[in-house]
Amino acid sequence: MPSEVNKQEQSCSVVNISSHKKLNERERKQLQHEFKIYMEQYFKRTLGKGVDYTKVVIWDDMLVVRGEGFLTEPEKFIVQTPSGNEVVRAARMQVVKQHAIDNVPYFEKRLGATAIHSSYCMEPENDFWMHAIVFDRSLTE
């Protein structure tokens, strides 16, 4: 039985990336859109709630995934309490780390490159998160 990632790859693969080929502007935009849809579906499937705003940028040797509006109503309330910000941050960092485990291999396969660095930023007080990945080669022309 195909995994969810395999189903997603089959249904959204607009751009075929050959090994070490740099993306032209059209391919870059198509892949950014594919990754945006993929991430929105991933969070809806995993958390039961989608992100209100998702942006994906592929540039040079980096992929940046950014999301806003991901907190649940109870989390928004907890963030307003004195120690709530850190409680929500710790819980959501586990989600961000799991996202990397689940999705970096998908990004590597689709881009034909290997992730060599990864960094996360999460600000529960602003309902914002970001994941930046640096690859082992330039991805864009």
- Report if residue 107 sits inside a domain: yes
- Report if residue 76 sits inside a domain: yes
Supply the range of the domain harboring residue 33. 22-135
- Report if residue 5 sits inside a domain: no
Question: What does the H/E/C string look like for 83-94?
Answer: CHHHHHHHHHHH
CB atoms within 10 A of CB 1: 4
Determine the pLDDT at residue 7.
Answer: 43
- Report if residue 13 sits inside a domain: no
Question: What is the number of domains present in the chain?
Answer: 1
Please report the sign of the dihedral spanned by the C-alpha atoms of residue 26, residue 66, residue 71, residue 90: positive
Residue pair 72/121 in contact by the 8 Å Cβ criterion? no
- Lay out the sheet containing 53-59: strands in order across: 53-59, 62-68, 128-135, 115-123
Determine the pLDDT at residue 99.
Answer: 85
At 103, is the secondary structure helix, strand, or coil?
A: helix
HSE, side-chain direction, 13 A CA sphere, residue 54: 20
Determine the pLDDT at residue 119.
Answer: 92
- Report if residue 2 sits inside a domain: no
Put simply, whether the predicted model's pTM sits higher than 0.75 gets the answer yes
CB atoms within 10 A of CB 128: 16
- Per-residue pLDDT for the chain (141 aa), expressed as one digit of tens each? 344 444 444 344 445 454 578 999 999 999 999 999 999 998 888 877 778 899 999 999 999 999 998 888 898 999 999 899 899 989 888 888 888 889 999 999 999 999 999 998 888 889 898 999 999 999 998
- Report if residue 51 sits inside a domain: yes
- Report if residue 7 sits inside a domain: no
- Report if residue 8 sits inside a domain: no
CA 60 to chain centre: 17
